[in-house]
Structure 1
Amino acid sequence: MPDRLSKETTEATPKAERYEQELSRSLGLWGNVALCVAAITPAVGVFAIAPILLNMAGTGAVWALMIAGILGLSMAACYGELGSAYPIAGGDYSIVARTLGNAAGFVSLIFTGPVCAFLIPAVVALTIATYLNVVIPLDARWVGAAVIAVGTVVAILGVRLSARLVGLLLAVELLVVMFVTALGFVKTQHPLAEVLTPTVFGPHGGQPLAVGALLAAVAVAAFTYNGFQGALLFSEETSGGGRNIARSVFISLAVAVSFGVIPVLGGLLGARSLAEFTTSATPWQQFLTDTGGESFNTIVSLGIALAVTNGVMALTPYFARVIYSSGRDMMWPTPISRALAKVHPRFETPWVATLVIGVAGVILILTTDVEAMATVIGTVIALEMILVALSAIVGRVRFPGLVRPYRMPLWPAAPVSAIALAIVVLVEQSRTDQLTAVGIVVVSLLYYACYLRSRRATHMKMLDPAESD
């Protein structure tokens, strides 16, 4: 196997200091891609997050999605290079800690672990009842909790089973999105120039979208694509070496952007009224009813509900790998870390970490207002992008001999542009979201300083990647 570490690091780190290969290496490139795209959940982006974007930015939602796609491309270059060099299940934090230091790595863990891992599945699951309600009124919280519970069980039963089931439902999901998109283009009622003119609508009609409002919407749009970097989380279960990790990152992003921009554009083109479509809390149901009537809306809404359910099921194993890796790296008190690092002897899955994701999601969705946290997630993701992009710059400088199966072209153009755009987006976020993100960083650094730093001999162990087959 080609060594993924620099010569200096390899000589200093004996083979015994590598992670053991405990997870089942049973994913190929397309299995990895299926899990990543399902975790991105195009249906959630279109039918759950796009309405928020439309309310925020009007017809400028299309531009917010395109700008977020450019940001995503820059980040994909960073993730592709770093993920191919460090194929470790922890993903972001494993890379950030190795390049920027343990303190920054722990902040990254909190971002991609507890914050996103507990909140995102809950936020997504809440939207399912909206589309089921066309048949029977249901409590959104209990429906979401039930879906999270089912997804947790499936994730524990095995990564290959998850990939197959998620892949099957993903095909249905993409077909539903494509069908709704096609309706918009077939039933076009507005010229393209009108739709592409960034306009927000209020009581006094339409007015040009302010640049600040557009950039604020970009953070939410970036949330739409979040998940393409999931290839890194499944790297210890993917065959084919580091290049397959990089390929999966780029393929997943391409699918996400395509199924983000084009459906929203189609919906705007086919909307009866741009003002009504962009200000409605349920624009797609309005669109479907206008296009084919109530029965048509009912049938397609049920397909949308199934598609969103698939996304929740994919998010559970996705985030469980972060929590599992944090336990293996002894980020928490010893009993907790050892429990989180347990791998099921039969299914070869991180069953305790998966269970934690499921239980936390159920508790949150039943007891808190998780919908209000959607914009905070966008702010946290922007901060995480800065950490990863910095890692892509510092890593080249600190470890020039590190073997990188994929090397981004025109370095450091991609990470520099990603940092600049992420900072601009952050500046335009609400003060509440900014302060919440700062609070998360402060609490993370306090935990690191008070607990982890003095226990470096036994905690926050950062070993080398396990040798692949």
Structure 2
Amino acid sequence: MTTAAPQKYRQELRRSLSLWGNLSLVVSAVTPATGAFIIAPVLFGLNGTGAALTFVIAAVLGFALAYCWAELGAAYPIAGGDYSFIARILGRGPGFVSLVLSGPVQAILIPAVVALGMAEYLSVIINLDANILGAIIILLGTVVAIFGVRLSAVAVGALLIVELLAVVLVTVLGFVNSQRPISVLFSPEVFAADGSASPLTFGAIIAGLAVASFAYNGFQGALVFSEETKGGGRNIALAVFVALGVAVACEVLPVAAALLGSPSLTELSHADRPWQYFLTSIGGETFNTIVSLGIAVAVLNAVIALMPFFARILYSSGRDMAWPEPVSKLVSTVHPRFETPWVATIIIGVGGAIMILFTDIATLTTWIGAVLAVEFILVALSAIVSRIRNPELKRPYRMPLWPAAPVVAIVMAVAVLTQQNPADLAVAGGLVVLSVLYYVFYLRPRRATHMILLDPPDGEDEDERAPRERTLQP
């Protein structure tokens, strides 16, 4: 008696990325320059000299999650990222919640933050409204992403050098021009506008973890490019850890350098553009202009990298029929020549450009922080439940000391949620509720034809793959 071969996705995306090509895209999607130059300034205002310490604590959460992503991503090499394994482990309902949070929501919000930040640095030479300039930037990034993931990898690989040089430059400047002892970083204070200081509370540090985690977010992007990466699941796991390590170094060091090297911590905390205050105070207006342009080029790298990152999640959701049939077919359309999900890329680019026109960086950053905390809990739960329900699953990478990492991640993510602004919690909660309602009233009655989860497409190291977990029936 013969057994029917399991259904698999067709290999539609071009498998052309080496490990280092994947890493160049993922490290750029982590956006070291964005974290340091766009997101960190939010923490200067919120946590004062505790900004660097907040990034260090967030790194603990990051590494706990990295173990989860490395194991699950290696076991499920599918372009959808988080929702692909969450749906197969926790069920299609939680999987769809993850899809909405890690896909369309972040796909619209995160590139908008990056493009807006780049526009602010370009303002030193371009006299144009930052929101309009940001919309133009994100549309240009969309065009580059359509031409192919390999082209994107080449482009971001070149720009990544500029990005890392910008981070190194400001780090060196801060430490060389240090105004105070390093001990101030371990006795964190916040500053009022009149210059008075008060100790930073533990609750404020926990609340700031949402912002710091956003700065690290993206290192799990190796999973999203897994169908286009050569070499198998262990390469995906390795890329996750390398990308996070780069992100931590590129956030902690320049932030610490700015806190030590700024002439006035009060001015740094309350400046509309803290890094430009820092650069001007050290080298003058001309120096600020030159370095700001370098930072803008570095941030452009993030825009180019983020577009294909999120487009593949949306593409995967269409392939799984997560939306009404016409929409699913549209977003899963692959360009016949470039072999990229070009329709999904355009949708993300246009949506992000529209979002930019009506919001600001601070609002977007705090929204994303709350959304990420919910996503982290789903990922960590999956890492626990997968081992319990499917101990026989082939895992090219297995995290050590299981379940320590996912438990730490859940505890920290819950703590972060308890300290968020009620308005930000309302945004995250509202998105979860809407996702659940859509699943219950639209997807679940159509379970035979929608949210269909197949096995990974054929690729290299196919003989090492084990049977996948079957989809849980909610």
Unaligned ranges ≥5, structure 2: 461-474
Q: Residues 339-418 of structure 1 correspond to what in structure 2 (within 5 A)?
A: 339-369=330-360, 371-418=362-409
Q: Secondary structure at the match of 1:207?
A: strand
- Structure 1 position 430 matched with structure 2 position 421: yes
Pairing partner for 1:132 from 114, 122, 129: 122
1:279 to 270, 273, 293: 270
- The answer to whether the 8 Å contact 2:39/2:365 transfers is no
1:305 aligned residue: 296
Deviation (angstroms), 1:322: 0.5
Q: Once structures 1 and 2 are overlaid, which stretch shifts more, 337-346 or 234-243? A: 337-346
Report the aligned-residue RMSD.
1.4
* Secondary structure of the corresponding residue to residue 333 of structure 2: coil
Aligned residue among 235, 239, 259 for 1:244: 235
Indicate the SS of the match to 2:74.
helix
**Distance of 1:454 and 1:423 partners within structure 2:** 32
Partner residue, 2:434: 443
Contact between 2:83 and 2:95, CA under 8 Å: does it hold in 1?
A: yes
Question: What is the SS of the residue equivalent to 1:185?
Answer: helix
Match of 1:231 among 222, 239, 244: 222
Shift of 1:173: 0.7
> CA contact under 8 A between 1:82 and 1:392: conserved in structure 2?
yes
- In 1, the alpha carbon distance for the partners of 2:53 and 2:137 equals 32
Note if contact 1:154-1:313 (Cα within 8 Å) is conserved in structure 2.
yes
The question of whether the paired residues in 1 share the 8 Å contact of 2:53 and 2:185 is answered with no
Partner of 1:119: 109
Question: Quick one: which amino acid aligns to residue 188 of structure 1?
Answer: S
Counterpart residue number, 1:50: 40
**In the alignment, which of 250, 271, 279 is matched to residue 259 of structure 1?**
250
Kindly indicate whether the alpha-carbon contact (under 8 Å) linking 1:29 and 1:238 is maintained by their aligned counterparts in 2: yes
The match for 2:452 is 461
Instruction: Answer yes or no: is the 8 Å Cα contact 1:147–1:313 preserved in 2.
Output: no
Partner Cα distance (1:370, 1:298) in 2: 21
Task: Please tell me whether the aligned partners of residues 129 and 143 of structure 1 are also in contact (alpha carbons under 8 angstroms).
Answer: yes
> Does 29-38 or 81-90 show the bigger shift?
29-38
What is the alpha-carbon distance in structure 2 between the residues aligned to residue 68 and residue 438 of structure 1?
A: 22
8 Å CA contact 1:364–1:370 kept in 2: the answer is no
After superposition, the Cα gap between the structure-2 partners of 1:276 and 1:370, relative to the gap in structure 1 and judged at 3 Å, is: closer
Distance 2:3 2:13 in 1: 22
Asked whether the equivalents of residues 132 and 138 of structure 1 are also in contact (C-alpha less than 8 Å), the reply is no
Query: Structure 1 pair 368/425, CA: closer, same or farther in 2 (3 Å)?
Result: closer
The 2-side partners of 1:263 and 1:14 are apart by: 56
Question: What SS class does the counterpart of residue 58 from structure 1 fall into?
Answer: helix
Q: Following the alignment from structure 1 to structure 2, what is the Cα–Cα distance between the partners of residues 255 and 64?
A: 17
TM-aligned CA deviation for residue 291 of structure 1: 0.9
In the other structure, the counterpart of 1:8 is: none
For the pair 1:36 / 2:26, whether they are aligned, the reply is yes
Instruction: Provide the C-alpha distance between the structure 1 equivalents of 2:4 and 2:352, rounded to a whole number of angstroms.
Output: 39
CA distance in 2, matches of 1:331, 1:13: 28
Q: 1:421 aligns with which of 412, 419, 424?
A: 412
Q: Contact between 2:37 and 2:275, CA under 8 Å: does it hold in 1?
A: yes
Counterpart of 2:188 (choices 175, 184, 198) is 198
3-state SS of paired residue (1:116): helix
TM-score (ref. length: structure 2):
0.95
Regions of 4+ moved over 2 Å? 11-16, 366-371
CA distance in 2 between counterparts of 1:194 and 1:402 reads 48
CA distance in 2: counterparts of 1:165 and 1:295, whole angstroms? 28
Instruction: Check if 1:75 corresponds to 2:69.
Output: no
Q: CA deviation at 1:367?
A: 3.9
Relative to 1, partners in 2 of residues 1:115 and 1:468: Cα closer, same or farther, differing over 3 Å?
same
* Distance (Å, rounded) in 2 between the aligned partners of 1:369 and 1:51: 14
- Kindly provide the CA deviation profile for residues 89-121 of structure 1, in whole angstroms up to 9, marking residues without a partner as x: 000001100000000000000101111001110
- After superposition, the C-alpha distances for 1:271-303 in whole angstroms (9 at most, x for unaligned) are 111222122221111111111111111100100
- SS of the equivalent of 2:346 reads helix
TM-score under structure 1 length normalisation: 0.96
Aligned mates of 2:9, 2:349 — CA distance in 1: 26
Kept in 1: contact 2:25–2:157 (CA 8 A):
yes
Q: Could you tell me how far 1:385 is from its partner in structure 2?
A: 0.4
| Structure 1 residue identity aligned to 2:228 | E
Pick closer, same or farther for the CA change 1:227–1:12 going to 2, 3 Å: farther
Per the alignment, do residues 189 and 204 of structure 1 end up closer, same or farther by CA in structure 2, a change over 3 Å counting? Answer: closer
C-alpha distance 393-293 of structure 1, shift in aligned 2 (>3 A): same
Deviation at 1:366, TM superposition (A): 2.2
* Identical amino acids, percent of aligned pairs: 60
Residues 207 and 419 of structure 2 are in contact (CA less than 8 Å); yes or no, is this contact kept in structure 1?
yes
Aligned to 1:217: 208
Query: What SS does the corresponding residue of 2:310 show, helix, strand or coil?
Result: helix
Deviation of 1:129 after TM superposition, in Å, equals 2.2
Shift of 1:407: 0.1
Q: What is the CA distance between 1:196 and its match in structure 2?
A: 2.8
Q: 1:38 & 1:349 partners in 2: Cα distance? A: 19
Aligned to 2:77, which of 74, 81, 87? 87
State the match for 1:335 in structure 2. Answer: 326
Structure 2 counterpart SS, 1:200: strand
| CA distance in 2 between partners of 1:190 and 1:214 (Å) | 22
Matched-pair contact (CA < 8 Å) for 1:122–1:361: yes
Partner of 1:101: 91
What is the distance in 2 between the residues matched to 1:359 and 1:274?
39
CA gap 1:274/1:13 in 2 versus in 1, 3 angstroms:
farther
Task: Return the alpha-carbon distance in structure 1 between the equivalents of residues 344 and 126 of structure 2.
Answer: 34
Which AA in structure 1 matches 2:254?
Answer: P
User: 5+ residue gaps in structure 1?
Assistant: 1-10
How far 1:467 moved relative to its partner? 1.7
Equivalent residue runs for 1:179-198 within 5 Å: 179-198=169-188
Shift of 1:369: 4.9
| Cα distance in 1 between the residues matched to 2:357 and 2:253 | 34
CA distance in 2, matches of 1:369, 1:12: 59
Amino acid aligned to 1:46: A
1:204–1:295 CA distance, 2 compared to 1 (3 A): closer
Which has the larger displacement, 122-131 or 80-89? 122-131
